[in-house]
Structure 1
Amino acid sequence: MTKKYTLQQPKLPHELPEETFSISDDPFFKGITIKDCSITGEEMNRLAFDQVIFKNVLFEEVVFRDIELTDVIFTHCDLSNADFSGGIIHRVEFRESKMLGIDLSEATLGNVMFTTCHANLSSFRFARLKQVLFQECSMDASDFYECALKNIQFQQCHLNEATFANAPLNGIDLSTCKFERLNITINDLEGCIVSADQAIGFARLLGLRIKE
């Protein structure tokens, strides 16, 4: 049986004033809404966002390494190819957003929810994920190489050709997900929860011949 746990949701006031995004000498943003705009060609390390809502925002050629996100919501945003590597991401929700090729390698994620996001080719290499939910997301060819995964849920996600090499899946339930093939080492499958059909596919990885 999958262990149940409760995700902490972003802690936000009922109303947040709308402001225009611009990088200044103080790269700290708190208690605002940023919406209906494009953030293009910006590069800065250690930006911090606390209690911020991004709504319908296009991030284009953006490099925000070591970003800090606390109590933040992204809704209907385009974060494709954004570089958030090394980020610290806590109590954050990504809702109905495009995240093709987003770079979250070496990031630390806690109490994070991805809902109905297009995140094919996304990179979580060497990241640390604790209490993270992926719900109805497309994550084909995503990369979780050498991730530390604890209390992770994948619900009705597409994971074809996703990489979980050296990322133990003990206790993680993939039974509602769709994939034809995962890039994974057999040892890392120990304790992973799969459907009967998926189990047949993994048995073939072991060289077993399935008698119909």
Structure 2
Amino acid sequence: MARRVGFARASEHINAHVGSKELLALFAEGDALVTMTAFDGLELAAVSAGGATFDQVVFKSCVFEDVDFSRCTFTDVKFMGCRFISCSMERCWLNRCDFISCSAPGLSFQKGRFTSVLLAESQMRYAEFSEASIRDLRARKTNLAESLWRDVSLKRSAFESCDLTRADVFRTSLLGIDLSTCDISGIIVSNTFRELRGCIVGPEQAVQLAGLLGIQIKEE
């Protein structure tokens, strides 16, 4: 049996049942339900999703520019090879969702709710996660450099081979989070360094963090 990749329970072979014009009409109505459909090569620009609910939906090679997804609900949704340009997913609930090979620099998830979300091999530099409630996030080989994680509730999550250089985790506890395979150069924390208590790092990272504490390590 093939190992399932990600959390979303939506088949990549699902058929397209909703066209772009129909989708825009649903958005215009507000609180739309978009379910059991796929979109391949969809392009949306300067529209609001109107707080829509997406359930078992696959987006392949889609381009979203200036699209407001704020307050939407995504359950069992896959984004594969999609581009997000100046978009917002603020206050969204993402439940069993996958972002695979996506480009989404600066995408805002501020004050959102995450339950079982995969970020894999994606470009999410400058992404905004502040004040989000996150449980069971899996980030793998994803660029999260200079991303914002302020005041985040981060539980049961894992980061593997991610770029977290200059990520801002002010007032976010990393207790139990394994960052040993990630680049955490220049990570931003409070002056008490309490965010780092209980996180897991490698020997070279420990040397970097010692510099934050003002500790000098004597070479033999």
**How would you bin the TM-score normalised by the shorter chain?**
over 0.9
Corresponding residue for residue 198 of structure 1: 205
Aligned residues: 206
Structure 1 residues 166 and 117: alpha-carbon distance in aligned structure 2, compared to 1, 3 A threshold:
same
Separation in structure 1 between the aligned mates of residue 62 and residue 131 of structure 2, nearest angstrom: 27
Query: Do structure 1's residue 121 and structure 2's residue 126 form an aligned pair?
Result: yes
Q: Does the C-alpha gap of structure 1 residues 86 and 181 become closer, same or farther in structure 2, counting only changes over 3 Å?
A: same
Q: 1:20 matched to which residue of 2?
A: 19
Which one is further off, 136-145 or 179-188? 179-188
Alpha-carbon offset, residue 15 of structure 1: 4.1
For residue 177 of structure 1, report the CA deviation from its aligned partner.
0.4
Corresponding residue number in structure 2 for 1:86 = 91
After TM superposition, where is structure 1 displaced by more than 3 Å over at least 4 residues in a row?
none
Which of 7, 10, 33 pairs up with 1:9? 7
Q: CA RMSD in A?
A: 1.5
Amino acid at match of 1:39: L
Q: Secondary structure at the match of 1:124?
A: coil
Of residues 68, 71, 76 in structure 1, which corresponds to 2:73?
Answer: 68
Please list every run of 5 or more consecutive structure 1 residues that lacks an aligned counterpart in the other structure.
Answer: 1-6
* Alpha-carbon distance in 2 for matches of 1:15, 1:99: 24
What is the distance in 2 between the residues matched to 1:143 and 1:34? 30
1:46 pairs, out of 32, 43, 51, with 51
Say whether the 8 Å CA contact 2:104–2:122 is kept in structure 1.
yes
Q: Deviations over 1:138-179 (max 9, x none)?
A: 111000001000011010001110010100000000000013
**Partner Cα separation in structure 2 for residue 178 and residue 164 of structure 1:** 14
TM-score by length of 1: 0.93
Of the three residues 143, 146, 167, the one matched with 1:141 is 146
Is the 2:6–2:118 Cα contact (8 Å) retained in structure 1?
no
Q: 1:161 aligns with which of 157, 161, 166?
A: 166
Structure 1 position 81, deviation (Å): 2.5
